[in-house]
């Protein structure tokens, strides 16, 4: 017999919800939440469906955050079982979204159901911030729901994002922060001409090379206890007409910073532009800030999460800020303490994505104990 968490995870996986579609997952979750006393506000923006659910009105407000959308499946013939037909074999649950993050969503729901059954008059409030725009552009999802919450003076005190944070066993790693992500498109303008007459042209590739060398060698900061040093990486350099005898007229460089809390995106932009200006280049620059750096230091939420993991699994967890960005980057700037905790992430976005079936019940128990630690006397 499948457990309540495993059954719900299967039901969610069976609903095809390639971003930005929620595939009916929201209706399933809302029905379960309303049955245990949550008030639900649907928040569609553009093509994206979101919802905010809340039980109680007192402080503190603890919120689960997550997404029902998944990445495309890739070649269907490469899957050992249909990606939107949840399949159990050899102790694992297979299907697109099993780990990222329908397994977490199922565990959140069943954890709340068990918690409310034991503590119908619990302290504080519980919220759910659910989007279907995390795997896509992420412009009409969590960021818009956060704006709605701010406009309505709804302040999340503690937030748990169900991203798959674990590496080798459930709960061995939780994310208590993320590096910021700052991208840039730099165009260095030159003068196109014939390679045999370089004095009549200006080669933007040649002009770019000293600048890129200096940027690549730059030490932006030394990181800190929670973050490695800020990283600068060039991902694309594009120039030339395709002809071997033409000096190009421009050179486009795409680069990215993953930065620690020791610096800011404003400071990085100023440093980069100062270096370019020093080399007296004719250039254009476009900056794209896709996520601020944030850190939830040791405190109530981190402590409650660590204690819940150890009491459930018997081992201690590790705090980490590694990896890419998540929707936590939109929630942390509101002042909320934020952690990310979910299943093992080894197969996310892959063909045959899966999660250990027994881990879903463990995760539900961990989530319930976090609620116990924060919302009971």
* Active centre residues (catalytic): 69, 134
Report CA Rg, the chain: 24
Cα separation of 244 and 241, whole Å? 8
Q: State the DSSP string of 86-106.
A: -EEETTEEESTTIIIIIHHHH
Query: Which residue is it, tokens 């994310």?
Result: 175
Order of all β-strands in the sheet with 354-356:
87-89, 92-94, 354-356
Task: Centre a 10 Å sphere on the Cβ of residue 345 and count the other Cβ atoms it contains.
Answer: 18
Contact predicate 50/147, CB 8 Å: no
Report helix, strand or coil for 208.
helix
The Cα angle at residue 186 between residues 180 and 190, in degrees rounded to 5: 165
Contact predicate 360/9, CB 8 Å: yes
């Amino acid at each position: 017999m499948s457990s309540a968490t495993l059954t719900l995870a299967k039901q969610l996986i069976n609903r095809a919800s390639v971003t930005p579609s929620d595939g009916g997952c929201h209706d399933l979750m809302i029905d379960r939440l309303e049955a245990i006393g949550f008030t639900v506000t649907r928040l569609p923006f553009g093509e994206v469906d979101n919802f905010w659910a809340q039980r109680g009105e007192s402080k503190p407000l603890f919120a689960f955050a997550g997404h029902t959308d998944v990445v495309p499946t890739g070649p269907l013939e490469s899957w050992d079982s249909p990606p939107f037909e949840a399949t159990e074999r050899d102790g694992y649950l297979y299907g697109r979204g099993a780990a990222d993050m329908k397994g977490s969503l199922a565990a959140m729901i069943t954890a709340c159901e068990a918690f409310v059954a034991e503590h119908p008059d619990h302290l504080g409030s519980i919220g759910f911030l659910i989007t279907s725009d995390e795997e896509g552009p992420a412009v009409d999802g969590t960021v818009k729901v956060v704006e709605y919450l701010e406009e309505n003076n709804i302040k999340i005190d503690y937030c748990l994002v169900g991203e798959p944070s674990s590496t080798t066993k459930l709960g061995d790693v939780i994310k208590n922060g993320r590096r910021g992500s700052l991208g840039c498109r730099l165009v260095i303008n030159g003068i196109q001409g014939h390679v045999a007459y370089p004095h009549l042209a200006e080669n933007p590739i040649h002009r770019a090379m000293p600048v890129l060398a200096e940027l690549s060698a730059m030490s932006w900061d030394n990181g800190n206890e929670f973050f490695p040093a800020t990283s600068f990486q060039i991902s694309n350099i594009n120039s030339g007409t395709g002809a071997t005898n033409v000096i190009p007229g421009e050179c486009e460089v795409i680069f990215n910073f993953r930065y620690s809390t020791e610096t800011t995106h404003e400071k990085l932009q100023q440093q980069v532009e100062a270096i370019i200006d020093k080399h007296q280049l004719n250039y254009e620059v476009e900056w794209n800030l896709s996520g601020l750096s944030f850190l939830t230091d040791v405190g109530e939420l981190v402590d409650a999460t660590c204690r819940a993991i150890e009491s459930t699994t018997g081992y201690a967890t590790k705090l980490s800020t590694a990896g890419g960005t998540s929707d936590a980057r939109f929630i942390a700037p509101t002042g909320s303490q934020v952690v990310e905790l979910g299943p093992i992430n080894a197969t996310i976005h892959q063909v045959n994505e899966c999660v250990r079936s027994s881990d879903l019940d463990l995760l539900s128990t961990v989530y319930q104990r976090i609620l116990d630690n924060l919302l009971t006397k």
